[in-house]
Amino acid sequence: SPPFPVPPFFLSGVNMSEVATQVFAGQKPGTSGLRKRVEEFMQDHYMENFIQCTLEAMGNDLPGSTLVVGGDGRYGVTLAVDKIIKMAAANKVSKLIVAKDGIMSTPAVSNVIRTQKTTGGIILTASHNPGGQNGGDFGIKFNCANGGPAPTDFTDKIYKLSCEIKSYRICNNLQCDFSKVGTTTFVVDGSHDFVVEVVDSLDDYVQMMKDIFDFGMIKDYLKSVKILVNSLHGVTGPYAERIFGSELGAPADSFLKTNILPDFGGGHPDPNLTYAADLVKAMSEGDYAFGAAFDGDGDRNMILGAKAFFVTPCDSLAVIANNLELIPYFQKNPVNGYARSMPTSAALDRVAQVKGKECFETPTGWKFFGNLLDAGRIALCGEESFGTGSDHIREKDGIWAALAWLQILAARKQSVEEVLKDHWATYGRNFFTRYDYENCESDPCQKMMDELQAFVDDSGNIGKVFTSQSGKSFEVSKADNFAYTDPIDNSITTKQGIRVFFSDGSRFVMRLSGTGSSGATVRLYVDTFEGDKEKQTKSAAEMLAPCIEVALQISKLPTYTG
């Protein structure tokens, strides 16, 4: 931000136009908005249709509203920001807080919505999906006044409107330069003012992190160890350099891929062992004590210890829960409970049981944590899909998770591996893995899910024994299709994934995911508990192999997907 107040500018002569359009099939938002291929989003009127329907879904809250707009820097963000500014003006939005150059991480948008008490915000991202003009994905999602993703009834409204839309409103002659911080007021149709405030989100986000963590302690810790942070050419690059570098003193060679690129450098901005392989290699070969990777829009994280010791997101969530009292924010704010998504392992549940806290199991999708957070029932939540967060905002937050780990390491004076081994010795270890089968043909996948539902419905399968080639047997103890009743508003969400439990504490979950942009994505989750300390340090591959084999036997996944 400039060191002096930027004077507001007043521009008149902006006119609203009503543009005729046609319905585009398939504009149904998933758990985190609408995600489609770039070429689909860039069709004439396609983006405008969805923006109009999103604004209209606000109903009576739309006229006079204040909204935040920001995105992850992928191809299409600047075009979408320009359209949103023009359309917000035409739809009688009072004020738009716009990220400079359109760049603002998803957690930072949530923070601005909450601190500025806005009506909501529009986030331009397809999260961990690839980007770029050729073959990349684009996405738009709406966050409500609490800073969290829109609930199902809101996204259903958007979809209903998208099936009926005949025209959209836009101020085509409105020109707004959002590359510079400052405030401009436009007079629309000579009748109402429309304010655009262009902001740089870094300062607010950095201050929030300083209010949560002890930066002094972490800075002292980083004097004695090396860290490596990989932003995968996503939005977190500037945030990571500022926080871990300028604020905490990590040298310049502590960063990988922190320059934002519209196609993420041709990579897949998903912070896992496959897509952050360069981080894994560097950690394996170097003398780094801690590593972290973040996804395209900054809400996901992967944590590594020395020599690329991998912390599963399930274990990461449980370890943070077990050590929350080491973080200053939670020393001041009471922690009543935790929550995890259904596919996430039960490692968190064991911490909750020992600490006497509530622990909730919710459907996949961060929006399901919102009511629990707003009601003060939980302070920490997370998903196996590399998402971790707390009640400081209403989104998962990758940089927050990395700082939480650094705070824990600095306070405990232990390595990542030592923290994990101590945790397993206390609570036992949940071995966990997930397989993603992407861009599968939809019909065979649906047939597979129908067959699994038939397996669930047949009570004769309880007690049935399945045996792996290694000779290990699994007896079915329970099977269901997960359903959730929200304890705050009593809303019911059904058919969230087939679960098959075994008598030894193992289980597998199978679900079709809504985060892809085309075809079907099948997700298989396998989870097994081990209380024997001698076996807790064995490889996950070895410990999970028999249960994975039985999961494939029961689901017939290879037969249906090839």
Q: How confident is the model at residue 78 (pLDDT cuts 50, 70, 90)?
A: very high
What confidence score (pLDDT) does residue 517 get?
A: 52
| Rounded to 5°, angle at Cα 162 from 157 and 163 | 100
C-alpha distance from residue 421 to each of 416, 536, 551 (Å): 9, 8, 28
Whether the pLDDT of residue 38 is over 50: the answer is yes
b/e per residue 251-270 (b: at least 16 CB within 10 A) = eeebbbbbebbbbbbebbbb
Residues 6 or more apart whose CB falls under 8 angstroms from that of 39 comprise none
Q: How far apart are CA 458 and CA 25, in angstroms?
A: 37
Residue 123: strand pairing partners: 70, 141
How confident is the model over 267-275, as a mean pLDDT?
A: 95
* pLDDT digits 0-9 by tens, 473-489: 999 999 999 999 999 99
Q: Which residue carries 């609490």 as its tokens?
A: 146
What confidence score (pLDDT) does residue 2 get?
A: 43
Average pLDDT, the chain: 95
Whether the pLDDT of residue 9 is over 60: the answer is no
* pLDDT digits 0-9 by tens, 363-400: 988 889 999 999 999 999 999 999 999 999 999 999 99
Q: How far apart are CA 545 and CA 470, in angstroms?
A: 9
How confident is the model over 115-122, as a mean pLDDT?
A: 98
- Which of 143, 126, 127, 16 lies closest to 69, judged by CA? 143
Share of the chain above pLDDT 90, in %: 91
Residues 301, 370: contact at Cβ < 8 Å? no
What confidence score (pLDDT) does residue 410 get?
A: 98
Overall residue count recorded for the chain in this entry:
562
Whether the pLDDT of residue 427 is over 60: the answer is yes
Residue 360: strand pairing partners: 339
How confident is the model over 287-313, as a mean pLDDT?
A: 97
Q: What are phi and psi of 284, to 5 degrees?
A: -65, -40
How confident is the model over 36-48, as a mean pLDDT?
A: 97
Residues 6 or more apart whose CB falls under 8 angstroms from that of 450 comprise none
- How would you class 145 by CB atoms within 10 Å of its CB: exposed for 0-12, middle for 13-18, buried for 19 or more? middle
Q: How far apart are CA 171 and CA 47, in angstroms?
A: 15
Q: Which residues are catalytically annotated?
A: 127
Q: Structure tokens of 356?
A: 């006497």
* pLDDT digits 0-9 by tens, 161-199: 999 999 999 999 999 999 999 999 999 999 999 999 999
- Better-predicted residue by pLDDT, 531 or 476: 476
DSSP string of 228-266, one letter each residue? EEE-TTSTHHHHHIIIIIIIT---GGGEES-S--TTGGG
What confidence score (pLDDT) does residue 3 get?
A: 43
Q: How far apart are CA 254 and CA 226, in angstroms?
A: 7
* pLDDT digits 0-9 by tens, 435-459: 988 888 889 999 999 999 999 999 9
Whether the pLDDT of residue 468 is over 60: the answer is yes
Q: Structure tokens of 127?
A: 């999260």
- Which of 382, 371, 379 lies closest to 345, judged by CA? 382
Whether the pLDDT of residue 553 is over 80: the answer is yes
- Which of 478, 484, 542, 482 lies closest to 504, judged by CA? 478
C-alpha distance from residue 491 to each of 31, 284, 485 (Å): 16, 47, 6
Q: How far apart are CA 178 and CA 78, in angstroms?
A: 9
Q: How far apart are CA 201 and CA 114, in angstroms?
A: 13
For the ranges 126-130, 276-280, 355-359, the lowest mean pLDDT is seen at 126-130
Q: How far apart are CA 89 and CA 460, in angstroms?
A: 61
Q: How far apart are CA 386 and CA 294, in angstroms?
A: 9
What confidence score (pLDDT) does residue 13 get?
A: 75
Q: Structure tokens of 156?
A: 């259903």
Residues 132, 76: contact at Cβ < 8 Å? no
C-alpha distance from residue 127 to each of 51, 269, 273, 335, 392 (Å): 18, 8, 17, 29, 20
Residues 398, 271: contact at Cβ < 8 Å? yes
What confidence score (pLDDT) does residue 4 get?
A: 45
Share of the chain above pLDDT 70, in %: 97
Distance between first and last Cα of the chain: 54
What confidence score (pLDDT) does residue 1 get?
A: 40
Whether the pLDDT of residue 355 is over 80: the answer is yes
- What is the 3-class SS of 174-237, one letter each residue? CCCCCCCCEEEEEEECCCEEEEEEEECCHHHHHHHHHHHCCHHHHHHHHCCCCEEEECCCCCHH
Kind of pairing between the strands at 507-513 and 520-530: antiparallel
Residue 65 exposure: Cα atoms within 13 Å on the Cβ side: 26
